A and B are shown apart, each in its own frame.
Chain A
Amino acid sequence: MTGTRFRITVIGVVTLALFSALFARLWYLQVAAGRDYAAAAVQNAVRDIPVPAPRGRILDAQGRVLVDNRVADVITVSRRISPAQRRLVVGRLAELLGTDRRRIRARLDDPRISPYAPVPVAVDVPYEVLAYVAEHRADFPGVEVRPVAMRRYVHGSLAAHVLGYVGEINEAELRAQPPRARYTLGDTIGKAGVEQTFESELRGRPGRERVEVDARGRVLRTLGVERPRPGRDVRLTIDLDVQRAAEEALTQVLASARATQDTSDRRRFRRFAAPGGSVVVLDATSGAVVALASSPSYDPNLFTNGIPTPTWRWLNDPANHYPLLDRAIAGQYAPASTFKPISAVAGIVAGVITPYTTIRDRGRYSYPTDPDRFFTNDRGAAYGAVDLRRALTVSSDVYFYAIGGDLYARQRRGQPGGDALQEVARQYGFGEPTGVPLPNEATGRVPDAVWKRRVHEQRPDAFPYPDWLPGDNIQSAIGQGDVLATPLQLANAYAALGNGGTLHAPRLAEEIVEADGSARRALPPIVRRQVPVPGREVILDGLRQAVEAREGTAVRVFAGFPRGLVAGKTGTAQVAGKQNTSLFVALSPATEPRWVVAAVIEEAGYGAAAAAPAVRRVLEALYGLPPTPVVVTPPPRGN
């Protein structure tokens, strides 16, 4: 019996040990480490639902609204309804909205929408539908009608390329954002234009609603709300009136060109294709972009609810000449004769000419070592004795061929200043982005010996000559050959010439304003560098005479314009396989210019024929002059 007692005691001790272990563990979990587990419990049960911030507005220079938000009625469906209710609701909504069930179901299953937030299934719902849903609440469990802020581009396609558009953030954009920016899938983000570059100002800071959820993600209660900070307004340098005038001028000139015969083609009757073009208006004193027009264009409102696939396809079809492309900053064109002022500066800087050097223009030029190869004026015109001013007025190619040739000779002899043409062009901002705050700006091109060797080595079939030849430098001097510039680069270079040598980074935003107007931050002009402007008065006078003198290339277009208001340069770029590009850059007023207006019209003939009338129309708007219709008229001579 003592053995039994002993064994019972052992059992008792084991029991005691087991219970002691349980008490110890309970003490550890609840008292010693309780705080850690309590924290884990909070993390378990709390979720944050993002509350989007109202996006900032975009205003024009005078504070007129270009982009704001409107309130749209959205039908939302809660994800907390039972499967049976969901089936019912999806069926009834599909019937009511005239869509099919699959689309609504796909929306409801969209993982990009927070699982704790109601899912929007229809936007901009007709009033009758809203009324029906409101009157039949019992038939639509979990369905709500709520107002939602939608982006609105007040003037439709006006300034579309500047403003850009918004859309749902994609995976790549999400990855590119820092985590503190709090983007989540399904968020709206600027996809182009100012909407993209000023995203961080416009977006504001999303708030969050903190909710307690259970293991199945059902919301039990709201724990707190962090209010969103609305986005800031961006006041642009763009002037609504000038922008509208520029776009109208562009539209008119393209329409007129398409109705005009291309007389340079003697073999057959053919009208100008004029697929597109652009107009740039700069304030030369500050680098502010007053208007930036590109045609063809599009309506950014199309993107607001998610752009329909056919529309997207239409916008990207080559047959429609790429409306999404901003030709003002991404179109690259041979600047042709509009480049001549740059060549003039280069010639003076290098010392191959003075502002008063006169040469005899017999209509053609040949490089000394290759006397049998001629570079001719347009249509072989011979202008006789030309100095720099007259060379610009009548657009003598020979004068600038000579500068290009002389500079080439210096290069060959290893004398200083041989690279002046390329160097001055780069100083004036060619061959690099201007720094305008818009995405996808093109760099243009300033060709030189290094560039030519590189492209030859990369593509020997397309570029058979590795060496920089006389003809390369000579053609570059009249903005042909391989020189490429964007319309904005061209206008910006003229702005530097006009304002006495200050090259700005073009500016698009005047200031950033808090949503409640409490604070504003001005964005000052950005000076990139000072550029040489020797012979500026002579050059400006030559450009003025191009508009005012009888033999000026654009005199007909500006007939009747106040004297001294405009100085300008025409350009007619030859493009292999295409009709000529028509260019015109105006400085206004002629002596101490404030405005630069540049127009580049694709496949529209002479600079004086298409681009110049468009520029004139914009100048009329700038000065409040009565508008004259924009009609393409081929000039008798001069490119």
Chain B
Amino acid sequence: MAAPVLTDRRARLEASPLRHLDPLLVCIPVALSATGLVMIYSSTRRRLADAGLDPLTYVHRQALAVALGVAVMAAVMAVDYRRLREFALGAYLAVVALLVAVLSPLGVSVKGAQARFDLGPLQLQPAEFAKFVLVLVLAAYCGAHRGDLDARRVVAALGIAGVPMLLIQAQPDLGTNLILGIMTIAVLAVAGARARHLVVLALAGLTLAVAAVQLGVLEDYQVERLTSFAQSGRDAQRSGYNQEQSKIAIGNGGLRGQGLFSGTQTNSAYVPEQHTDFIFTVVGEELGFLGSAPVLALFALLAWRTWRVALLANDTYGTLCCIGVLAMLTFQVFQNVGMAMGIMPITGIPLPWLSYGGSSVVASFACMGLVANVHMRRFT
């Protein structure tokens, strides 16, 4: 009875971890990226052509980022996730350094946010990589103190998360910070933080958010964007314009959609930022419910697989990595698509893999690489 089990176990040990790869964790991001390329083409070709540029300009750049992202994912998967822990501190310090540097004149200011480095065809947004690195670091810290997260350690974990968040707030980039905050709370919760600590944390987060709106920490435009979704239709020409146009575009898709490249709202550039934050409106208008629901389903499927890995993981560190990624993925999708559909306020959060933006794509692939990594090494 014991021997077969032993052989079985040995066989598993000896076999390459790739044998245990969950193909969905790799295929879904690639499929979403491919959809994203088509949608970016649809929403930018006209504008680029009008400006006398190659209509494929954005598609080329995004394809480059996707290729880079797949490579990074492979790299993340190649190294055992437990060994990645050893790089975590170094990566954390590097990201913090980058976040400081981006605020210096080395960084470029785009649309009021000092958030990027200009690197030729691609732009580097350190905040996107901060997501991935913070998952690693928090998982490592909390995993190390599993079941022993007293108030001091919770505060320490918050400190770890707080440093990059403060730097990101200086850009300012409210959206990324919301994601990081949610992710931190999720990781702490699963790591075994006490219920009352979590309640205090949630209340503190809520207070901070309200204070930010009320005390003028946010710029007026941010407040307006955040609050306008609650008064839809009232002020369609001003701050609510994006959301109203976005809802119109998605609603215009109907059940079957206007057809690929035939969305009237999309071709007419009614929705601002359509290839980035509002990419889902292109999916909604051109592919309709029959096209956008499956896209949403791919995200849900990915979330389910990630959640499953969190349960299957060999150790707490792996579980926490997956929970961190799951929290970020779910909240990003909910916030971005919810914003496009008018049930969430407008914050500049990209839709993973679909939105135009190299850093986001690469960081998202890295995160999924981490999950796949945990999954395929769940027996070792």
Contact = CB atoms under 8 A, between A and B. Distances in A.
A21 interface: yes
Contact of B190 (A8, A44, A214): A8
Given A45-B268, A214-B267, A220-B267, A26 B289 contact: yes
Interface string A180-216: 0000000000000000000000000000000011111
6 contacts: A8-B190, A19-B303, A19-B333, A22-B333, A26-B284, A30-B292
Contacts of B319: 4, 8
B244 to A, nearest CB: 8
Given A7-B189, A8-B311, A21 B264 contact: no
Interface stretch (A10-18, A556-564, A567-575): A10-18
A19 B186 contact: no
A216 B269 CA distance: 8
Interface stretch (B99-107, B122-130, B246-254): B246-254
Contacts of A25: 338, 341-343
Contacts of B311: 5, 8
A19 B293 contact: no
A23 interface: yes
Contacts of A15: 303, 307, 326, 330
Contact of A4 (B190, B288, B331): B190
Given A5-B311, A11-B186, A30 B255 contact: yes
Interface of B: 146, 186, 189-190, 192, 245, 247-255, 264-265, 267-270, 284, 288-289, 292-293, 296, 299-300, 303, 307, 310-311, 316, 319, 323, 326-327, 330-331, 333-334, 337-338, 341-343
Given A4-B316, A19-B303, A22-B338, A29 B251 contact: yes
A31 interface: yes
Contacts of A72: none
Contacts of A30: 250-251, 253-255, 284, 288-289, 292
A606 B338 CA distance: 92
Given A23-B293, A38-B251, A220 B268 contact: yes
A18 B292 contact: no
Among B251, B284, B289, which residue has the most Cβ atoms of chain A within 10 A? B251
Contacts of A214: 267-270
A306 interface: no
A390 B299 CA distance: 112
Nearest to A12: B307
A312 interface: no
Given A37-B247, A44-B268, A11 B307 contact: yes
A33 interface: yes
A44 B248 contact: yes
B326 A34 contact: no
A213 B267 CA distance: 10
Interface of B is mostly: helix
A36 interface: yes
Interface of A is mostly: helix
Nearest to A13: B307
Contacts of B292: 26, 30
B334 A22 contact: yes
Given A4-B316, A8-B310, A213 B341 contact: no
Interface string A38-56: 1011101100000000000
A465 interface: no
Contact of A37 (B251, B300, B307, B326): B251
Contacts of B269: 214-216
B270 A44 contact: yes
Contact of A7 (B190, B270, B293): B190
Interface in A517-553: none
Nearest to A217: B268
A413 to B, nearest CB: 78
